[in-house]
């Protein structure tokens, strides 16, 4: 049984013809799912009854099981999805989030089950990596978020959920092709952002990818010393090496790099850190997104004060840096990466003492 969202028009056409369906039926199915947002074959009324039965029996339209759905007071929605067998241990679970504004409906999606990077402040990597998601499972997240009440068409995609996207390069780039394609979700390259902790070789590989997506670097520190304390994978590449790769990406694509900087109270949010970060940012054509930390139960980091955040931003701007403060979204539903999965697992451990 194949997964619909793993298919391209060519592979789906071949699948249909192999089973005695006309090749043009593939286009009809694509239209039902992506344009009409109908994913139940029973509702695909321009297909014959036998064709609808064949699709029902031999094609999966959703791989993931919805385990939890939360809606925040600001309209942010979060889904916890389970992949594989329900009784699998450890459970394969990922999160995806829909973040609405007046102009955008942004899908924040995962690329891996868990995360291999293990950033000290992040819930995604607690428990390590449980595996990669397939291209269709990545696309499915964005599609499902678009089906949420009062959402409608997804306008933007950010690979800022669980996992390191460039560590699952082949699946992520194949998913981007579907997200971008006219026959798929039709989301423009400028509206797709890949966020990476900084893998220079993979960034240079992305330079030759035919869809010039926006690249975001999860920097989170103004120098290598602090970065190594926060991000274990920082041992493998210096900030200078990562910036060289990012600059090469900008030179080839013309796409300005976004530096993501998570502010942790007393760790990287001091004025001296802002001054140092300004010098880093001047190294390439970039803007900075400042993000206030969402606390994770069990981790030893605190949210910075409003006064310190504004002083940090002002210090950057005084030095000519284009620094934006990202609005905190979904704090009342634990919308930060991996929080819902982390809290659900904690609750399961409490309800089943002696297990796990």
**CB 346: neighbour CB atoms within 10 A?**
13
User: CA 166 to CA 71: how far, in whole Å?
Assistant: 29
Ramachandran area for residue 128 (φ above 0: left; ψ -120 to 50: alpha; else beta): left
Q: Are 133 and 94 in contact (CB under 8 A)?
A: yes
Q: Are 243 and 280 in contact (CB under 8 A)?
A: yes
SS3 343: helix
**Active-site amino acid positions:** 95, 337
Residues whose CB falls within 8 Å of the CB of residue 187, separated by 6 or more in sequence, listed in order: 154, 155, 156, 157, 179, 180
User: CA 141 to CA 113: how far, in whole Å?
Assistant: 13
Q: Are 293 and 302 in contact (CB under 8 A)?
A: yes
Q: Is the peptide bond before 275 cis (omega within 30 degrees of 0)?
A: no
Alpha helix segments (H runs only) across the chain: 9-18, 24-30, 49-58, 135-146, 169-180, 200-206, 224-230, 239-253, 271-281, 306-318, 339-351
């Amino acid at each position: 049984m194949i997964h619909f969202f793993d298919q391209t028009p060519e592979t789906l056409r071949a699948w249909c013809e192999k089973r005695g369906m006309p090749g043009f039926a593939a286009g009809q199915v694509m239209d039902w799912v992506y344009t009409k947002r109908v994913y139940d074959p029973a509702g695909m009324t321009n297909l014959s009854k036998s064709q609808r039965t064949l699709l029902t029996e031999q094609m999966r339209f959703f791989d993931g099981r919805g385990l939890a759905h939360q809606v925040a007071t600001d309209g942010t929605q979060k889904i916890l999805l389970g992949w594989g067998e329900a009784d699998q241990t450890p459970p394969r679970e990922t999160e995806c989030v829909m973040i609405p504004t007046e102009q955008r409906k942004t899908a924040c999606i995962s690329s891996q089950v868990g995360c291999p990077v293990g950033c000290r402040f992040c819930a995604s990597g607690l428990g390590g990596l449980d595996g990669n998601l397939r291209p269709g499972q990545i696309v499915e997240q964005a599609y499902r978020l678009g089906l949420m009440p009062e959402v409608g068409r997804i306008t933007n995609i950010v690979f800022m959920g669980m996992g390191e996207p460039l560590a699952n390069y082949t699946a992520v780039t194949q998913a981007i092709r579907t997200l971008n394609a006219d026959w798929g979700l039709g989301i423009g390259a400028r509206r797709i952002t890949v966020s990476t902790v900084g893998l220079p070789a993979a960034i240079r590989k992305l330079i030759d990818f035919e869809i010039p997506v926006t690249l975001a670097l999860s920097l989170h520190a103004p120098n290598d010393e602090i970065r190594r304390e926060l991000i274990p994978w920082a041992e493998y590449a210096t900030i200078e090496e990562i910036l060289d790769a990012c600059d090469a990406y900008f030179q080839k694509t013309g796409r300005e790099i976004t530096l993501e900087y998570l502010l942790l109270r007393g760790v990287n949010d001091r004025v001296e850190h802002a001054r140092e970060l300004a010098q880093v940012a001047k190294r390439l054509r970039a803007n900075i997104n400042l993000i206030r930390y969402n606390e994770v139960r069990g981790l030893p980091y605190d949210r910075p004060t409003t006064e310190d955040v504004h002083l940090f931003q002002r210090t950057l701007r005084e030095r000519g840096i284009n620094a934006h403060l990202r609005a905190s979204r979904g704090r009342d539903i634990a919308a930060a990466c991996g929080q819902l999965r982390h809290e659900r697992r904690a609750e399961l451990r409490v309800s089943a003492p002696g297990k796990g």
